[in-house]
Amino acid sequence: MITIKDKKFELFIQHKQIEEKISMLADKLNADYQERNPLLIGVLNGAFMFAADLVRKLTFSHEIQFAKFSSYEGMESTGKVKELIGVNAVLKERDIILVEDIIDTGITMHNIVPQFKAQGARSVEIATLLMKPGKLQVDLDVKYCAMEIPNEFIVGYGLDYDGQGRNYKDIYVVKN
């Protein structure tokens, strides 16, 4: 059990299981991306730890960059998510893999994917560590997902509660 600010969290997914699920996801990417030299784009801040562990399991040549997008809070699902830190690579004819920590409503990815497609990418796929299928609000094609979880708030392994808790190697769920 851990405490972050005003909330208590309990152990939810152990690091060993996270590692196994990332290996399985990496196997799928390794099968699909040989000879394609894709550009992986890690979505800051939450995906930094997942991206670091994922790329160490990839056997194909690739590049990785990181991008940061403004929160969509207060915006409609059709609203544009702004790029705060961008990608300085030519995306034309590139295969892009967006590396995300967790897909909740799906609104962030729903807004970002078309922005990359508009820059001429050959393909844009999503590789996410976690997904809450019960909370998805938009039509989103998530080709690579390591783990599905129920509608609970979690922290650790890159994910935060109010900016804190990203450092834990395991994932914790909020205790009500």
Query: Is 156 an interacting residue with respect to Mg ion (CB under 5 A)?
Result: no
Note whether 125 binds Mg ion by CB under 5 A.
no
Is 6 annotated in the active site?
no
Verify binding: residue 95, Mg ion, rule CB under 5 A.
no
Instruction: Decide: 156 and 171 in contact? Cβ < 8 Å.
Output: yes
Residues 60-89 that bind Mg ion (CB under 5 A): none
The reply on whether position 46 binds Mg ion by CB under 5 A is yes
C-alpha dist (Å) from residue 52 to 33, 41, 67, 161, 162? 18, 12, 14, 21, 22
Please count the residues of the chain: 176
- Residue 172's alpha-carbon distances to 15, 112, 116, in angstroms, are 11, 28, 32
Q: Look at residue 96 and give the partner it binds from ligand IMP, Mg ion, none, a contact being a CB closer than 5 to 8 Å depending on partner kind.
A: none
Q: How far is the CB of 132 from ligand IMP (least distance, A)?
A: 7
- Contact region for Mg ion (CB under 5 A) — 1-9, 38-46, 90-98, 147-155? 38-46
Residue 83: count of CB within 10 angstroms of its CB: 13
The residues of the shown chain that bind ligand IMP, judged by CB under 6 A, are 46, 100-108, 153-155, 159-160
Q: Which of 6, 27, 101, 104 is catalytic?
A: 104
DSSP code string of 17-38 = HHHHHHHHHHHHHHHH-TTS--
Q: Which is nearer to Mg ion, 60 or 140 (CB)?
A: 140
CA angle 38, 158, 72 (to 5 degrees): 80
Residue 128: beta bridge partners? 100, 145
Of 14 and 70, nearer to ligand IMP (C-beta) is 70
Q: Which range binds Mg ion by CB under 5 A, 25-33, 54-62, 95-103, 141-149?
A: 95-103
Q: Which residues are catalytic?
A: 104
Contacts to Mg ion by CB under 5 A: 46, 101
